[in-house]
Structures are given as C-alpha cells and as structure tokens.
Amino acid sequence: MTPHHHWLRNYTPKCVAIKLADNNIVYSTGVGTVVFSPVINGKTVRSVKFTRVLHVPDLRNNLLSVLYLTRTIGFTVHITASQMSFECPTGTPLFVASISNSNAAFLDGSTVPLAKYASAATALPLDIDLWHRRLDHHHLAGVRTLLDKNLVTGMHLDSKSAPDPIC
C-alpha cells in the first residue's frame, strides 16, 4: 500500500476498507503497479515490479505485507538485527530493507518514475494552469512554489494566463 498516486502504473479505481494497527479504518482509492529499483550491498540490481499495490491516500508511509510475500508468492525472508532480505523461491535476493533504531524497516532503493518529464506535447500555452493539470491537479500554490523556488528542472512558463477558476 502506498499514499503515492504518482508511483502507480496501470492505475484503476478500487475501494477497499483497511483496518490499521490503531483500529482506524482507511480506504483505498485505486490499485496499480509500482516499479522499484533495489540497491543490494551498495549496487543497483534488476528492477522489481510490485503488482496489486493499493493507493491509500490516508497513509503516511508505504506498507509492504511480508506475510503475503511469504505465503502467496513463496518468498523467504531473512531477518538480522539491521536488515531484512527478501529472496525469491530460487534463493536469490530481490531486495533488502534496512532496519532503523525504531524497529521500522525501509526498502533500500528507489521507485522508478512513470516518466522522466511532465511536459508532454500540447498545443495549449505553457502556463500555470497547464502545469497544474499535468501535475494531477496539484494545488496551485504548490505549483507556484515549485516554479518560484526552482524546485524542479525544466519547468517554465511561456504564458502568464490566469488559472482556470472552475478547477
């Protein structure tokens, strides 16, 4: 499960109730595939596709079901004091997770972005409204911050038209 909609490929709507450890219930809004680029012993290895990943906007962190991987997929998980290693049925490690001092584990590596650039071809003027739409209708103040503080590369305006008030 992930709160990050922009990581998901082949996204389709799906509503599932999820009961959290604190007994709160949150709901997924969709499901898709996440491509992950693992790092094992300091080296980037072959990408892994996590399928059937639920998009749960109310989560604060990603959640990975270790029991699902062991029971359904046949993974073997080796746990030491500092690391978890996830191995496929052949015994080859596919990815690892470092264990923090607070006993939380985080996968070593990074997600593979959907596209390198958000600037697909268009006949529309390159203005704040177009960037707002390209960024999945992210709030305009956030889009302006990206532009004003140069937080991303390749993002510029050709036109200063006003944003669409309907959106």
Report the C-alpha gap between 153 and 145 in whole angstroms.
Answer: 13
Residue 122 is predicted with a pLDDT of 57
CB 111 within 8 A of CB 7: yes
CATH label of the domain that carries residue 46: 2.40.70
156 domain residue, yes or no: yes
Are residues 149 and 92 located together in one domain of the fold? no
Q: Could you tell me the two tokens for 161? A: 């038209």
What pLDDT score was predicted for residue 113?
79
Asked if 94 and 86 touch (Cβ cutoff 8 Å), the reply is yes
Instruction: Let me know whether 57 and 91 are in one domain.
Output: yes
pTM here is: 0.66
The pair phi, psi for residue 146, each rounded to 5°, is -55, -45
Same domain as 51, residue 12:
yes
Give the closest residue to 48 by CA, choosing from 6, 93, 14, 17. Answer: 93
Phi, then psi, of 133 in degrees rounded to 5: -70, -40
Listed residues 74, 90, 111: the one ending a domain: 111
Cβ atoms within 10 Å of 74's Cβ, excluding its own: 11
20 and 77 belong to one structural domain: yes
Tell me how many domains the chain contains.
Answer: 2
Task: Give the pLDDT means over successive 10-residue stretches in the chain (167 positions).
Answer: 92 94 94 94 93 94 91 92 91 92 93 63 67 76 83 73 58
Q: How far apart are CA 130 and CA 149, in angstroms?
A: 18
The pLDDT of residue 82: 95
In this structure, are 95 and 155 located in the same domain? no
- Looking at the structure, tell me whether residues 134 and 103 fall in a common domain: no
Asked whether residue 37 falls in the same domain as residue 91, the answer is yes
Final residue belonging to a domain, choices 95, 111, 127: 111
Domain contains 166: no
Please indicate, yes or no, whether residues 94 and 121 belong to a single structural domain of this protein.
no
Domain residues for the domain of 121 are 116-161
Q: What is the DSSP letter of 136?
A: T
Tell me: do 68 and 133 sit in the same domain: no
Q: Please tell me whether residues 121 and 47 are part of one structural domain.
A: no
Instruction: Let me know whether 122 and 107 are in one domain.
Output: no
Contact (Cβ atoms closer than 8 angstroms) between residue 58 and residue 3? yes
Same domain, 100 and 36: yes
Tens of pLDDT along 58-96?
998 999 999 988 998 889 999 999 999 999 888 889 999
Burial 85-120 (b: 16+ CB within 10 A, else e): bbbeeeeeebbbbeeeeeeebebbbebeeeeeebee
